[in-house]
């Protein structure tokens, strides 16, 4: 039996309604970057950190974040100066998939804003795999 939890439409709506909008405040991810809160790190370089999601939605569910948020609370806040880190994050996602043995099939997701159920306002890529993915996503 899979330990992966499904999200119903009602739960997704509730999560969206409860999600904080971007306040610019520091988030739990700053504490993870500072290693003040433990996480299971699967990838790290000078610019990004990849760690396992605490509530995995697939056998492999890794979050990839820039170590310096630099105003990138969400993708819709991206500016020209962020081009390099955005490309770096995407290439790091490929390296995570390779490391996790899911290069044959994986998904990269960015939830942007309450309508998309973003709950942490520090840009992050979800790297998901290890099971057959479905389309469309919920």
Rule CB under 6 A: which residues touch ligand TR5? 28, 37, 39, 53-55, 63, 111, 117-120
- Shortest distance (Å) from residue 98 CB to ligand TR5: 21
- Shortest distance (Å) from residue 93 CB to ligand TR5: 14
Instruction: Identify how many contiguous H helices and E strands the chain contains and give both numbers.
Output: 3, 5
Let me know if 126 is a catalytic residue. Answer: no
Buried b vs exposed e over 77-112: b needs ≥16 C-beta within 10 Å?
bbeeebeebbebbeebbebbbeebebeeebbbebbe
* Burial label, 53 (beta-carbon count in 10 A; 0-12, 13-18, 19+): middle
- Shortest distance (Å) from residue 54 CB to ligand TR5: 4
When the beta carbons of 80 and 119 are compared against ligand TR5, the nearer one is 119
Catalytic residue among 61, 82, 104, 124: 124
- Shortest distance (Å) from residue 138 CB to ligand TR5: 13
Token pair, residue 61, equals 């569910």
When the beta carbons of 10 and 80 are compared against ligand TR5, the nearer one is 10
Question: What's phi and psi for 85, nearest 5 deg?
Answer: -70, -35
When the beta carbons of 35 and 81 are compared against ligand TR5, the nearer one is 35
Active-site annotation, residues: 124
């Amino acid at each position: 039996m899979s330990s992966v939890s499904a999200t119903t439409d009602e739960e997704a709506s509730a999560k969206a309604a409860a999600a904080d909008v971007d306040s610019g405040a520091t988030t739990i991810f700053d504490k993870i970057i500072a290693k003040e809160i433990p996480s299971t790190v699967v990838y790290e370089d000078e610019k990004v950190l990849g760690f396992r999601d605490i509530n995995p939605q697939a056998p492999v569910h890794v979050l990839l974040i820039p170590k310096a948020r630099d105003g990138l609370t969400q993708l819709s806040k991206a500016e020209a100066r962020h081009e390099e880190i955005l490309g770096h994050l995407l290439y790091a996602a490929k390296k995570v998939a390779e490391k996790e043995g899911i290069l044959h099939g994986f998904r990269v997701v960015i939830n942007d804003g309450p309508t998309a159920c973003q709950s942490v306002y520090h840009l992050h890529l979800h790297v998901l795999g290890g099971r057959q993915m479905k389309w469309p996503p919920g």
